[in-house]
Chains A and B, each alone.
Chain A
Amino acid sequence: MSKILVIAEHLDGKLNPSTARAVSAAVAVKPEAIDVLVLGDSVDAIAADAAKIEGVSRVLTVARAENAHPLAAVLAPQIAKAADGYSHVFAPSTTFGKDVAPRVAALLGVAQVSDVMSVEASHTFKRPIYAGNAIITVEANADHAVVATIRTASWPAANSGSNSAPIEALTLDVTLPTHTRFIELKQGSSDRPDLQSASKVVSGGRGVGSKENFEIIYKFADKIGAAVGASRAAVDAGYVPNEMQVGQTGKIIAPALYMAIGISGAIQHLTGIKDAGTIVAINKDSEAPIFEIADIGLVGDLFKLIPELEQAIG
């Protein structure tokens, strides 16, 4: 039988929703147990949140000052140690999981399955390659632990609230390296919904034209309660910061509503949104590739159409 260890992602004392998505993938393996591992300096509130997620058997915590910031070199030896006895180690395929999971896999001497989209059997998974232009079925060797990152856009967050899994503190006898130090995290301050987990996202592209013009996107997003994203072209042009990039090398998201405004729809961008519920495209070029995949398209000048949309919404 399988036993799965899910690595919790958290920031500023809050559990990241990507953790509950990784739990969904763990549930799909039909294991006998799913334990969530929380590594941090102050873990209580995070562990309490994790304990509420349906499907979680236990929450294991490691509270150490060295775990204040998610440094892969510091976390990986602890995770590898805690992984003893588990058949699978799952982490969300976010920059956090992508950073730490391969380091864990190498310490365990096993391969990693990146970006799991579906679970076919306990050791058989589907994952995208070539920017999602091909989907492969991979079989991991069942004689070893499987380390995998979970493509968050492919999995709904497991329900939270009804569970109250026991929380246990772990003491791991691991010497931690001091060769890597956290200096700072520069976060974009925003009261808007989080791009990765928002149910509505409004994104702007090169067609928005400038950093100043992007205000119209922010204003519209606020009107409908949406998170704001951007195409790589808009990020590269300096209209918005990098963490807003949606696409193959940015964030891969699956909101219920995605509105692409002034985005032509390069394949790299489409890779990031193809699991969205409804895709709306607004572009002045009726030939733009975004219209090939949009559920609803509207051709026209965004600077004229957005105010009209705001008015029509009322």
Chain B
Amino acid sequence: MKILVGYKRVVDYNVRIQVKSDGSGVVTDGVKLSANPFDDIALEEALRLREKGVAEEVIVVGIGPADLTAHLRNGLAMGANRAIHIVTNDAVQPLTAARVFLKLIEKEQPGLFIVGKQAIDDDANQTGQMLAALWDRPQATFAGKIDVSIESGATGKVTVTREVDAGLEVIEAELPAVITTDLRLNEPRFIKLPDIMKAKSKPIDSIEFASLGVEAHDHLKTTHYAAPAKRSKGVMVKDAAELVAALKQKGLL
């Protein structure tokens, strides 16, 4: 079976985000961009499933401007067989991304679509669930452990341990299905230099967004960006007794 992996490029998680003084956005000029860490985990899991013989092909898919190819090459260097690049200069919201992915699913017929549970830029945590709804297939969000058993081709089932507020929930879903990945699913491999060389010859299929026939359905308009309210630095106490006294005074103990 094939596995499609949603592979988004975001501002690197180490970058200190600055809100522009006019409230029109966050500073992204000259800022380091990287793969969404949760999507790296999604790709790693897909590669492991291929290495186990569960999948034959891993395809990374990204939506973005012309220079997104460099990012997709990283996915190929990590080990994906090929990439699909949906070319657009406009930022797409989760519902539109889900509609794009559904078009690719109709063409590629994967057994699994794996994507990070959220992107660390918009923190929306929606795309995988929306895709599963539009596809009318199971979803297993916040995956901490994945076991796939294949009957034949792309039929089979997947057992997923989900990290939920109450603990760990285990569900079983028929394939094909959508899985969104949580932090502890795996530790993504590092890309080695020879892999970067090899990735140069792997195919990236570029498709114009407009040619997909997907309506960009962006119901949400962001009108203002602001820096969060800061907590101010408090006081230091010198010992346990002083701390207990301070908390008792506030009525907290």
B residues 202-253 in Cβ contact with A at 8 Å: 217-228, 231, 233-247, 250, 252-253
| Closest beta carbon of chain B to A140's beta carbon, Å | 6
Assess whether B126 is interfacial by the CB under 8 Å rule: yes
B17/A130 in contact, CB under 8 A: yes
Within 8 A of A (CB), among B103-160: 120-134, 136-142, 144, 159
Query: How long is the Cα–Cα vector from A110 to B133 in the complex, in angstroms?
Result: 12
Tell whether, in the assembled complex, residue A138 and residue B235 are in contact, meaning their CB atoms are under 8 Å apart. Answer: no
Q: Which residues in window 122-144 of A have CB below 8 A to B?
A: 124, 128-141, 144
Residue ID in chain B nearest A274 by CB atoms: B231
A189 to chain B, nearest CB (A): 9
Instruction: List the B side residues contacting A129 at CB < 8 Å.
Output: 121-123
What residues of A have a CB within 8 angstroms of the CB of B47 in the complex? Answer: none
Of B95, B239, B243, most A-chain CB atoms within 10 Å: B243
Does A114 lie within 8 Å of B19, measured CB to CB?
Answer: no
Residue from A106, A140, A232, A297 within 8 A of B130 (CB atoms): A106
A96 contacts the other chain (Cβ, under 8 Å)? yes
* A23 CB, min distance to chain B CBs, angstroms: 18
The reply to whether B221 and A139 contact each other, CB–CB distance below 8 Å, is: yes
For A293, what are the chain B residues with a Cβ–Cβ distance below 8 Å? Answer: 231, 233
Which residue of the partner chain, among B11, B133, B171, B247, contacts A296 with CB atoms under 8 Å?
Answer: B247
Decide if the interface of chain B is mainly helix, strand, loop or mixed.
mixed
A257 touches B252 (CB 8 A): yes
Contacts A105-B95, A136-B225, A278-B252 known; A196 to B165 CB distance under 8 Å? Answer: yes
Question: CB-nearest residue of chain B relative to A242?
Answer: B163
Taking a contact as CB atoms under 8 Å apart, the answer to whether B237 and A297 are in contact is: yes
CA distance A280 to B2 in the complex (A): 50
**With contact pairs A103-B130, A129-B123 given, residues A296 and B237 touching in the complex (Cβ less than 8 Å):** yes
Contact partner of B126 (CB less than 8 A), chosen from A114, A128, A232, is A114
Task: Please state if B247 and A106 are interface contacts (CB–CB under 8 Å).
Answer: no
**Which residues of chain A come closer than 8 Å to B17, judged between CB atoms?**
130-131, 133-134
A105 — which chain B residues lie within 8 A by C-beta?
Answer: 95, 126, 130
Interface check A216, CB cutoff 8 A: no
Instruction: Give the contact stretch, choosing among A70-78, A163-171, A207-215.
Output: A70-78
- A154 CB to nearest B CB, Å: 12
Which of B121, B170, B235, B253 is the most central at the interface, judged by chain A CB atoms within 10 Å of its CB? B253
B38 (CB) vs chain A CBs: closest residue: A249
Residue in B137, B170, B244 whose beta carbon sits within 8 Å of that of A183 in the complex: B170
Count B-side interface residues using an 8 Å CB cutoff.
81
Most chain B CB within 10 A, of A95, A128, A313, is at: A95
Minimum C-beta distance from B93 to chain A (A): 6
A174 touches B (CB below 8 Å):
no
- Of A50-58, A82-90, A304-312, the one with at least 4 CB within 8 A of chain B: A304-312
* CB <8 Å contact, B133 and A102: yes
Q: Which residues of B contact A115 (CB under 8 A)?
A: 123
- The answer to whether A99 touches B139, judged by C-beta atoms less than 8 angstroms apart, is yes
- What are 9 residue pairs bridging A and B, where the CB atoms are less than 8 Å apart in the complex? A72-B139, A73-B138, A99-B139, A103-B130, A107-B133, A141-B221, A179-B137, A187-B167, A308-B241
Q: Which residues of A contact B (CB under 8 A)?
A: 11, 71-73, 76, 94-96, 98-107, 109-115, 124, 128-141, 144, 177, 179-188, 196, 200, 224, 232, 235-236, 241-243, 249, 251, 256-257, 274, 277-280, 291-300, 305, 308-309, 311-313
**B→A interface (CB under 8 Å):** 11, 16-17, 19, 26, 93-95, 98, 120-134, 136-142, 144, 159, 162-174, 177, 182-184, 217-228, 231, 233-247, 250, 252-253
Known: A180-B174, A293-B231. 6 other contacts (CB 8 A): A111-B93, A130-B123, A135-B225, A135-B228, A187-B167, A312-B241
